[in-house]
Amino acid sequence: MHLLKKALLATATLGAIALPASAQTVNYTPGTRYDVAGLGNHVATGASMAGMQVTYTTFSGFTETLTWGALSGGYAGQCGVLSMAGSAMRFQMSFSCQEDTYSPSAFYLWLMQYSGTTNPNSPDALSTVVLNGAPGRVVFDCAWTGSACQENGGSAATGVGTPGSDKGWSAERYLAFGSFTYANAVGIGGAAPVGDLYEQLTLDLSGQNFGANGFGVQYFYVDTDHTAPNSPVPAPWRATQPTTVPEPSTYALMAAGLAVMFGMARRKKAV
């Protein structure tokens, strides 16, 4: 049986016993602010996230950036990224092309696999995975509680943060993992970001020895939204620099300098 099919079968088993999420850390940092003209559908599917970039890095420093899209072969029906080393899978992350990331049924549909034995510097554990949504008009939506996003899940979400984003759900994972970090806060129409939408999500596996000596398999959950169809790819948000008002002493020096220049001009004219 194909490794992916085995993983999906395990997924169904895990769902049947309602395995709780493991203890984890979720961080939020403004990073580089992004601005979009507006939000589109707050329901994103695996297929609609096409264009999103996924970069994985190993502890030896090997790194590769992949572009999200429809997968084929033994991964039919799945959308995501796949890196091969010859005929062997090196790294794979996927989500059902048809399911949406907000639906309760999506909880075990985010799948990540990695094999350190197929890397150039094997055995080599996976260190970080960075998802950048801008190329695919994707934003990561976390569970807003009115003043901040909660660490896990979304049961305590009290309302909508950014208008049009609907309630979010903070990242969770279901097996041994490291931490999540949301970065690059997203604002709408030039307004400052509320704090529930981000352009980047990093999965840090430091100390996990993930996949170093074989296959590592991980299930996790992330809620994603889309920017409006007519909205350009988010561009770095630039704040207007405040106008600097000169100190009184600066005005005095400027006046003295002008007086000297005026005096010199009068003397030259007299000559």
- 113, pLDDT greater than 50: yes
Q: How far apart are CA 21 and CA 233, in angstroms?
A: 33
pTM of this structure: 0.77
Q: How far is CA 83 from the centre of its chain?
A: 20
**Bigger pLDDT: 128 vs 159:** 128
Out of 2-16, 86-100, 142-156, 254-268, pick the least confident.
2-16
Q: How far apart are CA 220 and CA 203, in angstroms?
A: 10
Q: What is the per-residue DSSP string for 30-49?
A: --S-EEES-B--S--BTTTT
**Given this model, what pLDDT does residue 176 score?**
57
Can you read off the two tokens belonging to residue 18?
A: 């309602």
Domain locations along the chain:
3-236
| Residues 68-77: tens digit of each pLDDT | 999 998 888 9
Spell out the residues 6+ positions from residue 165 whose beta carbon is closer than 8 angstroms to its own: 39, 42, 139, 141, 196, 197, 225
- 227, pLDDT greater than 50: yes
